[in-house]
Chain A
Amino acid sequence: MVSELPWNSKTGTLKRELAGGMMDPASRRALEAALQIKENQGAHICAVTMGPVMAEEILHQAKALGADDGVLLTDRRMAGADTFLTSLILSKFIQKEYKSFDLVICGSQTSDSETAQVGPQLAEELDIPAIGYVNQIRVKKDNIEVRRHVDDFYEILTMDLPGLITIDLSAYKPRYLALEGLEKAFENPDIKIIDAKKLGLDDSFNALKDSPTRIIDVFSPTTQNENRVLKGAVKKIVDQLFDEYGKVISSGMGKDIKTHDHDEV
């Protein structure tokens, strides 16, 4: 049951402060991919996120794991951005601060809204190619070679750089972050904070108002179903289950089962 809806009905947005200071599992894989590239052929990694002030915490984690820079894009006027504006804001940052980037790596989809749209839209905004759901990356001189398994096709592709990839949820298992590393990162945080003005967004910019999509209602689906409730000892329940529903179960299985214990042996 949802006791408190993490939703502001006035603004139609998610109260992200309730989401907790954890790096999203998909982003952790993206960071892992970046760390492996850095270890294999050297790289300078900037971990960037957009969100409320408390999102700074995940940038400490990123730096503790090996990111060189941590940048938080935060501003009231950027709150409530849908994927269209989130990708716009991220692209403004990249174009301003990391103009000569080679590769943008994103998680394939966040665990809160799972749209999988910010990566592709960021690529479009930056006018660079993008490949989603990547399992394996090989960095070459002027391009990268990636492998992925999508829509029942196992593909090997090369992509010109600069480019963007999103990392599949099955790949690049994130490394464990030792506690002392995290403590160190907190001692010397050095996280860059950037607001809407610094990004060059004009004074009238308001992500909530300007997003092309608008949430008009949010509801919790109530499914009321007259159902049979079984409880008690496991053995008793299992007997009841097969007594009452043995036929349904055996027909689904396509195997014959004895539905009663007192059936012939």
Chain B
Amino acid sequence: MMTSSKDIWVFGDYRNYFQNRVTLQILARAVDLASKTGGNVCAVVFGHNVNDYVAEYIAHGAQKVYVMDDPRLLLYSLETYSRLLTRIAKKYQPETILVGATRFGQEMAPRVAKQLGTGLTADCIDLEINEKKFLVQIAPSFGGNLIAKIITPVQRPQMATVRPGTFQEQPHDDNATGETHILTLPVDLKKDRIRLITSEHRPSKKQKIEDADIVICGGRGMGSKGKFKKLFELAELMNAEVGATRPVVYSEWVPHNALVGQAGKNIKPKILMSFGISGAIQHTAALTDADFVIAINKNPNATMMKMADVAIVADANQMCLGIIKALKEKIRH
């Protein structure tokens, strides 16, 4: 497909805003990318009464915002939103479309890519521009052991989803100006084959692991489900949140919402304590913003140990028990 623009589009995923910052984060990186390729950074917003978001995206780097504001778009709809995004992408032919890897984004982007006949890289941890001005989509791959650089050589647009927390948003700029492009809802829009019966806002946790000052992450090296539970006792003592690796989640030692890493959470604690984790990339990519890392592993050569500020060569479970004991003695009441 020939492209008529060099524009980079960012899908405006505003549900759960203010907590969900992924659109702002992607806009910031899109600004960097556009400085290398030319073209505008554009946001695309579907919904009803979305002016606040439009203004917010402009204040965070969008030069142009395509807006479809209609009562029929009030609720996030996978079918309708993906059809609309496809339709306007066909019309305006952006060079690149970036989507936040929220659950909604993860469901919508593949459908849009399919409708547009183009490629899509999931859950990117970085995006670059190469010498041919292609978007280099960098994502964990191969079971988390490796990172792959992926391009879309022929088809356009280039598409990628980006995990929340991957990029740093730009500061809010009240003086920024952008062009708003109002689009009307097409009259021949197909009927949704999915109907929302009830929807209830249920945030998963009170203190979110993404915001915790101390995160205690455990891996299979903890030994068993029973031993893993000790990490929660430690967390209680330390005002910490507990995270887990994928093998732990798959073994059902803890629920899936504790997963830290690809398809899970990104964290940015002041202190990360890592127990019995070897350090697959899908996990470690989510830890890069941790200020101070203490890793405990029997294997001194584990990736996680190399990443750590303090690497403790020991059995993870024994160490957990040792620290619990010490803290019980040391905490001043």
Contacts and interface: CB of A to CB of B under 8 A. Distances in A.
Given A6-B142, A116-B106, A257-B332, A228 B281 contact: no
B107 A132 contact: yes
Contact of B326 (A7, A157, A238): A238
Contact of B323 (A1, A241, A258): A241
B148 A218 contact: yes
Nearest to A163: B193
Interface string B8-42: 00000001100010000000000000000000000
Interface residues of A, number: 91
A253 B306 contact: no
B194 interface: yes
A102 B82 CA distance: 23
Contacts of A68: none
B309 A228 contact: yes
A2 interface: yes
A112 to B, nearest CB: 5
Nearest to B323: A238
B311 A253 contact: no
A151 B313 contact: no
Contact of A84 (B104, B120, B202): B120
B199 A114 contact: no
A212 B197 contact: no
B251 to A, nearest CB: 9
A52 interface: no
- Chain B contact-residue range equals 35 or more
Interface stretch (B63-71, B110-118, B169-177, B180-188): B110-118
A132 B103 contact: yes
B102 A151 contact: yes
Contacts of A249: 238, 271
A25 interface: yes
Interface in B261-277: 262-263, 269-271
A125 B310 contact: no
Interface in B232-282: 237-240, 246, 249-250, 252, 255-257, 262-263, 269-271, 281-282
Interface stretch (B48-56, B88-96, B152-160, B219-227): B152-160
B250 A169 contact: yes
Contacts, number: 282
Contacts of A254: 213, 239
Interface string B136-177: 110011110111111111110000000000000000000000
A216 B238 contact: no
Contacts of A229: 300, 310-313
A169 B114 contact: no
Contacts of A123: 111
A82 interface: yes
Contacts of B143: 6, 19, 111-113
Q: Of B148, B269, B330, which is in contact with the most chain A CB atoms at under 10 Å from its CB?
A: B330
A157 B307 CA distance: 44
A242 interface: yes
B73 interface: no
Given A152-B203, A212-B154, A231 B195 contact: no
A173 B49 CA distance: 41
Interface stretch (A59-67, A182-190, A219-227): A219-227
A18 to B, nearest CB: 10
Contacts of B256: 168-170
A169 B152 CA distance: 30
A25 B250 contact: yes
B294 interface: yes
B202 A248 contact: no
B332 A220 contact: no
A169 B249 contact: yes
Contacts of A214: 150-153
B79 to A, nearest CB: 6
B330 A117 contact: no
B326 A242 contact: yes
A129 B195 CA distance: 11
B4 interface: no
A93 interface: no
A237 B312 contact: yes
A75 B260 CA distance: 36
A116 B264 CA distance: 12
Interface of B: 15-16, 20, 78-79, 102-104, 106-111, 113-115, 117-123, 136-137, 140-143, 145-155, 192-204, 213-214, 237-240, 246, 249-250, 252, 255-257, 262-263, 269-271, 281-282, 284, 292, 294, 300-301, 303, 305-315, 318-319, 321-323, 325-327, 329-332
Closest 4 CB pairs of A and B: A212-B119, A213-B119, A129-B193, A115-B122
Given A117-B120, A130-B78, A231-B300, 18 more contacts: A5-B146, A19-B143, A112-B143, A114-B262, A115-B110, A131-B194, A152-B203, A153-B202, A163-B193, A169-B250, A213-B150, A214-B151, A218-B147, A228-B311, A245-B292, A251-B270, A252-B238, A253-B213
5 contacts: A83-B110, A154-B199, A155-B198, A157-B196, A258-B329
